[in-house]
Amino acid sequence: MHKSILRRSKLEFKKLVNYFAFLLLFFSNPLFSSEDIKCIKNDNSIIEKLIIKINSHVNTELNLLTCEEIDIIKGFNEDQLLVTTGRKRGRYSICLSDNKENPCKFIIGYFKKNGIPSKMLSKLFEIEFSQNGELNETVERLFLEPSSLIR
């Protein structure tokens, strides 16, 4: 009985923290204009949670998406969304897609420092990074399903 109440209050607290993080994201970040706020509806979607996570992590920076891009992403089945890494202009990027054949449909952020992309992505999502053998980033990518990580 007490465990379920505690679990429920932790969940409510987490929702409250996410809400305030969301507000802080838009009112304290000069990268966002009032136009950008219009397409973010605080509807608890995966893309909005990803935006908050990337913007609040110390080693990442957000790539500003257009409202059109956000609407396209929101049209995808959230259970099929995949997050992986890519490289653009010498920088490691955080990519979002709905299939592995086109892994970087949308660049949603960048890593500020260089390192092992899979390890940096694992750290961002606070999951344990285990690498059996050598991971060749050009052939083998780490794909994460945000729907199972941040709901």
Per-residue pLDDT tens for 59-107? 999 998 888 998 899 899 999 999 999 998 889 999 999 999 999 999 9
The verdict on residue 21 lying in a domain is no
The verdict on residue 93 lying in a domain is yes
Question: 102-139 pLDDT, tens per residue?
Answer: 999 999 999 998 888 999 999 998 888 765 544 444 45
Assess contact for 117 and 73: CB atoms under 8 A: no
Q: Burial level of 116, CB count in 10 A (0-12/13-18/19+)?
A: middle
Q: Quick one: pLDDT at residue 108?
A: 94
The verdict on residue 1 lying in a domain is no
Query: With bands split at pLDDT 50, 70 and 90, how would you rate the model's confidence at 146?
Result: confident
Q: Quick one: pLDDT at residue 67?
A: 86
Q: Which domain holds residue 71?
A: 43-149
The verdict on residue 2 lying in a domain is no
